[in-house]
Amino acid sequence: MDSKEIKKCKICDKPNLSEFISFGKMPVANAFLDKENLGKEEFKYPMGVSFCPDCKMVQLTNIVPYEKYIVPDDKGNRNYAFFSSTSKAMEEHFAGMAKEIEERFLDSNSKVLEIGSNDGIMLQAFKKNKVLGIEPSHNVAKIARSKGIETITEFFDADLANKISEEKGKYKTITSTNVFLNIINIHSFLKGVYNLLDKKGVFITEDPYIQNILSQKAYDQIYDEHIWYFSLHSLENLLNMNNMEIFDAEEQWVHGGSMRVYACKKGDYKQTDRVKDYIQKEKKNGIDKISPYLNFSKEVKESKEKLSKLLQRIKEDGKKIVGYGASSKGTIVCNYCDIGTNVLDYITDSTPYKQGLYSPGKHIPIVSPEIFHKDNADYALLFIPNHLTEVMGKEKEFLNRKGKFITHWPEAKIIENGN
């Protein structure tokens, strides 16, 4: 099957899912095309989002299999289009995260495991501990190994955890950043985490936070890889089903607003006042009811209309618009808002892997930053709005020659010189 419709909640198995928003047929967000494949039919799936009133989990209504977006090449190697180390801001963020983990939970003999370790951007920051990465994509794992980071190129589940436990023992900390929300068989994943945790071991996960998605109308966080959209309510229910619990949490700026969650085996740590406050705030905001999600659906439709009108007005003025950042978010925005080559001349992106390819669904050409810098575009539609500050610092020349950025959330607007 190309996509699997969920009849019941995949967390608690209750048949009470309620879909609150539908985006129509969507392509795989990272399925960039080469010129030879432009004429071929693309895989698309009905992208909707549902809420479970029983376990409180927000989830994609239809799950897309891994092989649709972690694509094997002719040699059977799985390749992934995103390399974490392309962002300096993310490198600094992960270095800070590693330092905090070392100071708070580790001693010099502790072992660290990262699930979804990408190109080793965080594990490279652990200087005093033995590290192991799990990364199913061969191309990014190869970069991590070149840095001297031991990396297993497999999907993490309970079976792999058993194998690692037998061969390498237990781990004091297990981390996953912007990965936990991607896991199809999430219960098997957590069984594996539980099995690999050492005495008073800590599982630390950092993913986009549903309250930020709602408040910012950040519908571009929703795509095929992102299966789950966590609140602390839904995470606590999920972890309890697997004999674990949350003992601390802290909001982070990354990915437009994420929550870093600290979990352990039941009873290992006392719950902090900070996480109690977050949970209370969620309840006050009605995050455990469907009403805020229905309101989100209404606001997303309004956001789409505002962006479409803004772009139309700029084009009617005879101005040139390009895209900035060939991201998964950009795929969603372009396809949901019907933005194609009639609006954007191209999308610029610093990832060599993407340059020369075409965007999923709308087939907008992707070019190098050098072309963008030599061009005379009037506007750049920002498809990585969560990196706005970093982009503004990097593109001063574009701003100095009166170039302007456009963002789509929390509302469609033109940004001049960072304002």
Asked if residue 61 belongs to a domain, the reply is: no
Q: CA-CA distance, 233 to 278, in Å (whole number)?
A: 10
Asked if residue 270 belongs to a domain, the reply is: no
Asked if residue 315 belongs to a domain, the reply is: yes
Asked if residue 313 belongs to a domain, the reply is: yes
Say what the pLDDT of residue 82 is.
Answer: 65
Number of domains in the chain: 1
Using CA of residue 7, residue 11, residue 14, residue 20, what is the dihedral sign? negative
**Pair of tokens at residue 119:** 């190109």
Asked if residue 235 belongs to a domain, the reply is: no
Residue type, 351: T
**Pair of tokens at residue 283:** 């309840």
Q: Which positions ≥6 away from 309 have C-beta within 8 Å? A: 412
3-state DSSP call for residue 218? coil
pLDDT(338) > 70: yes
Query: Which domain covers residue 358, as residue numbers?
Result: 308-415
Using CA of residue 275, residue 173, residue 142, residue 145, what is the dihedral sign? positive
Q: Which residue has the tokens 């997303």?
A: 300
Say what the pLDDT of residue 417 is.
Answer: 65
Cα atoms in the Cβ-side hemisphere of radius 13 Å centred on 8: 7
| CATH code of the domain covering residue 357 | 3.40.50.720
The secondary structure of 398-413 as a DSSP string is HHHTT-EEEE-SSS-E
**Pair of tokens at residue 314:** 């700029």
Q: CA-CA distance, 93 to 78, in Å (whole number)?
A: 27
pLDDT(80) > 80: no
Say what the pLDDT of residue 255 is.
Answer: 81
Asked if residue 184 belongs to a domain, the reply is: no
Q: CA-CA distance, 283 to 275, in Å (whole number)?
A: 13
Mean pLDDT of 119-137: 95
| Weakest mean pLDDT among 36-45, 81-90, 114-123, 196-205 | 81-90
Asked if residue 359 belongs to a domain, the reply is: yes
Asked if residue 344 belongs to a domain, the reply is: yes
**Nearest Cα to Cα of residue 264 among 326, 178, 322, 196:** 196
Neighbour count for residue 203 (Cβ, 10 Å): 25
Q: Regarding beta strands 344-348 and 321-324, do their DSSP bridges make them parallel or antiparallel, or are they unpaired? A: parallel
Length reported for the chain: 419
77: left (phi over 0), alpha (psi -120 to 50) or beta: beta
Q: Which residue has the tokens 């949970």?
A: 279
pLDDT in tens, 226-245: 999 999 999 999 999 999 99
pLDDT(122) > 90: yes
**Nearest Cα to Cα of residue 173 among 279, 268, 91:** 268
The angle subtended at Cα 108 by Cα 106 and Cα 111, nearest 5°, is 60
3-state DSSP call for residue 250? strand
Say what the pLDDT of residue 60 is.
Answer: 97
**Nearest Cα to Cα of residue 137 among 81, 185, 89:** 81
pLDDT-derived band at 2 (thresholds 50, 70, 90) equals: very low
Q: CA-CA distance, 164 to 401, in Å (whole number)?
A: 55
pLDDT-derived band at 76 (thresholds 50, 70, 90) equals: confident
pLDDT(176) > 50: yes
Bridge partners of 344, per DSSP, are 321
Q: Which positions ≥6 away from 241 have C-beta within 8 Å? A: 11, 12, 187
Say what the pLDDT of residue 353 is.
Answer: 85
Say what the pLDDT of residue 69 is.
Answer: 80
**Pair of tokens at residue 281:** 């705030």
Q: What is the overall mean pLDDT for the chain?
A: 94
Using CA of residue 56, residue 61, residue 62, residue 66, what is the dihedral sign? negative
**Pair of tokens at residue 248:** 């601390």
3-state DSSP call for residue 241? coil
